[in-house]
């Protein structure tokens, strides 16, 4: 929220742009300052190894050694003058990575390394281009011993063994998180440690419990599997449930909210271990979906973003409700001079003046920013520094465990998921979009940021009786040393909690590389192989060329190409099915999965409105249309979601559409668009066979969820389908009211 100005100059990671829109979001300064940090040579080399592995290995590693360059053989890089110790500008490797000509820049035909990755490579070469550390469980003379780590059954066996070691009354509250898939492509101990630290931080950024929660390592030999007791996070309690008269009563806890979105779960039909685990753990745990474990990188990258970030912390829709829940009366604190305020004429974040306030709060501090779209007229905080009315801002408050939570609001106090890039940008995000939660966590890696107040010095210069109440202003804007002590105390509270949590002082923010790699790094063949649980890339290289998978657009992987994360998640379940690995647990009901349309589906159902662009104004007339464009009759279910996240059934499951039929809702007349502004959704499920109705599940300050009974358990504990969701499609239409 604050830009370091007086203490440490930094490059801002969020840039505010000139705009006339009625809200402004502020975030923070740089999250990584390579010049200011000195990780030891081994850690630096490990980070560069991760970059080369994720971006260069397909063309310059293993059996693919183009140009005679193997990026993992550092001695050869030094010998060939690709990495000249102490001389990055003269090193061929650095030159080809920073080449402006796209036809010559590496990696060829792929996105360039980002600024942080380039900076790491430069620093590594400057520090001597030292050898890379060995991978954990890398191939050796004991090949078979290491291969066991890559067998899908390995994790299941570890979970089953751990379950059997626990008292019966504790077993079903345990949930598991894994970074094991990284071992296929190779992972250093440093990388696995970073995954562990990212998990620890993400969980505790999402907990209202006073005690910090440190997950238990399950497999001590390689530390890729962790167990968490939901009760310690208070995640075991019901946060959403169906109406009392629901045909299929459902209740969800926080972990259920996660696994409804999780796209990487597989039912291993041929695994006896999975059968035992289903019978002894999955079924009695009463999870909403049969998911034995969740990947750490997915969790850190998804649970820290809306909607899950808002839901897991139950952040309300308005700033007024948030302050009420926190028992903070910010206006009264201003009136009674309890709050402490500072104002800046210029900052490294915004081109306009801005103010920040600190309010005392039960668990530490509640910070509130006030931003403006200009610095003139009524937006000039120096004209009346007491009665400020901003156009938006960010709230930061301590959680009971000392960590921080975040809330972004517009000028009316309405909660925001993200800010338009025309207003604010996040340099750490590939698309530069600032999103609540993750953007804030990555920027505030060391807690609150130091700043310098410009208002008090200006007020002190006022002589005589002017239009400003000088005495009141000086009471509200404390001396620099007073505010500095408050900021320092808040920084120390956060950093002490982080050190206690991790077991060591924090170096870089672990969530930054973990989430950037997951969300933004292009996926290469070895990455995809690891995520499928394969022990090598050889089998996958052949399979992606076969007709049953070429329609998915994955064939480029066989020729040193890459794919994007969103494309991979769209097709993951079809690859699992096509390769015969198991039965995918499809996140069909996920809020973060608006569409599911398998490439093999013959169902073609479209949804539209009476406006081609689906944009309406309050008072407009609206009609919804659903049309079967296929050659066979289909069954559909249609559900509406309001701008506040509330769901309502429009057409029940079992509604039949003949081939070519177009259905209108309402059948007669139209709906009048209400004054509320925002985005609403029309969600349609369709299939050639009848499927069971969804249950709508609601909770306080939790987005309503759709839950279909797709995955059930037989008597022996093996999951089965009441209906196979792979035969369905899902389409979501967004309607906007402006």
Nearest to 541 by CA among 562, 521, 522, 555: 555
pLDDT at 421: 53
User: Residue 657: enclosing H or E segment and its boundaries?
Assistant: strand 647-657
Beta carbons of 432 and 425 less than 8 angstroms apart: yes
**Record: fold of 605-737:** Immunoglobulin-like (2.60.40)
C-alpha span between 45 and 29 (Å, rounded): 26
pLDDT, residue 4, reads 28
Contacts of 553 (CB under 8 A, 6+ apart): 563, 567, 571
Nearest CA to 684 among 624, 732, 736, 738? 732
Q: Considering the chain, what percentage of its residues have pLDDT values greater than 70?
A: 88
Spatial separation of the C-alpha atoms in residues 155 and 476, rounded to whole Å? 57
pLDDT of residue 156: 96
What distance in Å separates the CA atoms of residue 612 and residue 559, rounded to the nearest whole number? 41
Task: Give pLDDT < 50 ranges for the chain.
Answer: 1-38, 138-149, 420, 422-423
Q: Are 447 and 494 in contact (CB under 8 A)?
A: yes
**Helices and strands in the chain, H and E counts:** 26, 33
The pLDDT assigned to 39 comes to 53
CA atoms within 13 A on the CB side of 632: 10
d(CA 586, CA 601): 15
Cβ 291 vs Cβ 582: under 8 Å? no
Nearest to 502 by CA among 202, 177, 216, 200: 200
Residue 724: per-residue pLDDT? 76
Per residue in 147-161, pLDDT (tens digit) is 444 567 899 999 999
Q: Among 634, 626, 632, which Cα is nearest to 686's?
A: 634
Domain extents in the chain? 14-34+311-511, 144-310+512-584, 605-737
pLDDT at residue 431 in the model: 73
CA 462 to chain centre: 48
pLDDT score, position 599: 84
């Amino acid at each position: 929220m604050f830009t370091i100005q007086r203490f440490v100059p930094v490059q801002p990671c969020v840039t505010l742009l000139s705009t006339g829109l009625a809200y402004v979001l502020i975030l923070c300064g740089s999250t990584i300052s390579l010049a200011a940090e000195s990780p030891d040579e081994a850690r630096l080399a490990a980070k560069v190894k991760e970059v080369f592995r994720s971006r260069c290995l397909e063309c310059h590693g293993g059996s693919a050694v183009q140009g005679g360059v193997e990026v993992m053989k550092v001695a050869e890089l030094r010998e060939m003058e690709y990495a000249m110790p102490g001389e990055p500008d003269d090193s061929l490797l650095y030159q080809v990575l920073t080449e402006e000509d796209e036809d010559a820049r590496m990696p060829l035909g792929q996105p360039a390394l980002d600024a942080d990755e380039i900076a790491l490579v430069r620093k590594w070469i400057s520090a001597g281009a030292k050898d890379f550390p060995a991978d954990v469980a890398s191939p050796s003379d004991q090949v078979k011993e290491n291969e066991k780590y890559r067998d899908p059954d390995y994790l299941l066996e570890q979970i089953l063994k751990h379950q059997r070691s626990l008292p019966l009354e504790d077993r079903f509250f345990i949930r598991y998180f894994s970074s094991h898939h990284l071992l296929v492509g190779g992972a250093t101990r440093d990388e696995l440690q970073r995954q562990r630290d990212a998990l620890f931080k993400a969980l505790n950024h999402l907990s209202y419990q006073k005690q910090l929660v440190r997950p238990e390592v399950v497999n001590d030999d390689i530390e890729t599997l962790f167990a968490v007791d939901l009760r310690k996070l208070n995640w075991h309690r019901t946060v959403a449930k169906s109406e009392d008269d629901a045909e299929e009563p459902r209740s969800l806890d926080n972990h259920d909210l996660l696994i409804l979105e999780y796209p990487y779960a597989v039912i291993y039909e041929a695994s006896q271990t999975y059968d035992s685990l289903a019978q002894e753990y999955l079924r009695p745990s009463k999870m909403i979906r049969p998911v034995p474990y969740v990947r750490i990188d997915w969790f850190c990258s998804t649970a820290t973003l809306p909607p899950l970030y808002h839901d897991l912390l139950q952040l309300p829709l308005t700033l007024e409700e948030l302050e009420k829940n926190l028992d903070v009366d910010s206006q009264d604190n201003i009136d009674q001079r309890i709050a402490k305020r500072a104002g800046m004429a210029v900052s490294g974040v915004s081109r306009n003046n801005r103010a920040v306030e600190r309010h005392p709060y039960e668990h530490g501090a509640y910070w509130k920013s006030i931003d403006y779209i200009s610095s003139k007229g009524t937006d000039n905080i120096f004209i009346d520094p007491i009665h400020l009315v901003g156009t938006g801002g960010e709230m930061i408050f301590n959680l009971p465990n000392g960590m921080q939570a975040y809330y972004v609001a517009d000028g009316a106090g309405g909660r925001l998921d993200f800010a338009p890039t025309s207003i604010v940008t996040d340099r750490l995000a590939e698309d530069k979009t600032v999103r609540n939660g993750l953007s804030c966590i990555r920027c505030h890696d060391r807690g609150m940021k130091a700043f310098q107040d410009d208002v008090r010095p200006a007020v002190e210069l006022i002589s005589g009786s002017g239009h400003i109440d000088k005495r009141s202003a000086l009471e509200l804007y404390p001396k620099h040393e007073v505010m500095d002590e408050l900021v320092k105390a808040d920084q120390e509270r956060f950093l002490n909690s982080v050190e206690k949590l991790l077991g060591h002082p924090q170096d870089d923010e672990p969530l930054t590389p973990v989430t950037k790699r997951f969300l933004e790094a292009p996926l290469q063949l070895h990455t995809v192989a690891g995520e499928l649980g394969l022990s090598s890339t050889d089998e996958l290289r052949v399979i992606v060329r076969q007709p049953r998978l070429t329609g998915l657009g994955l064939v480029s992987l066989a020729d040193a190409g890459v794919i994007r994360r969103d494309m991979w998640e769209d097709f993951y379940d079809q690859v699992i099915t096509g390769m015969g690995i198991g039965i995918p647990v499809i996140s069909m009901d996920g809020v973060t999965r608006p569409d599911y349309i398998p490439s093999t589906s013959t169902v073609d159902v479209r949804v539209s409105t009476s406006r081609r662009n689906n944009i309406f104004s309050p008072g407009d007339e609206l009609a919804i249309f659903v049309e079967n464009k296929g050659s066979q009759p289909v069954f559909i279910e249609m559900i509406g979601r309001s701008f506040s996240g509330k769901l309502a059934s429009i057409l029940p499951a079992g509604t039949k559409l003949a081939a070519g039929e177009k259905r209108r809702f309402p059948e007669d007349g139209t709906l009048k668009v209400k004054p509320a502004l925002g985005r609403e959704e029309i969600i349609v499920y369709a299939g050639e066979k009848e499927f069971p109705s969804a249950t709508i599940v609601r909770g306080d300050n939790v987005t309503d969820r759709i839950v279909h009974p797709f995955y059930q358990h037989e008597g022996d504990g093996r999951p089965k389908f009441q209906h196979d969701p792979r035969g369905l499609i899902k389409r979501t239409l967004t309607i906007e009211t402006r």
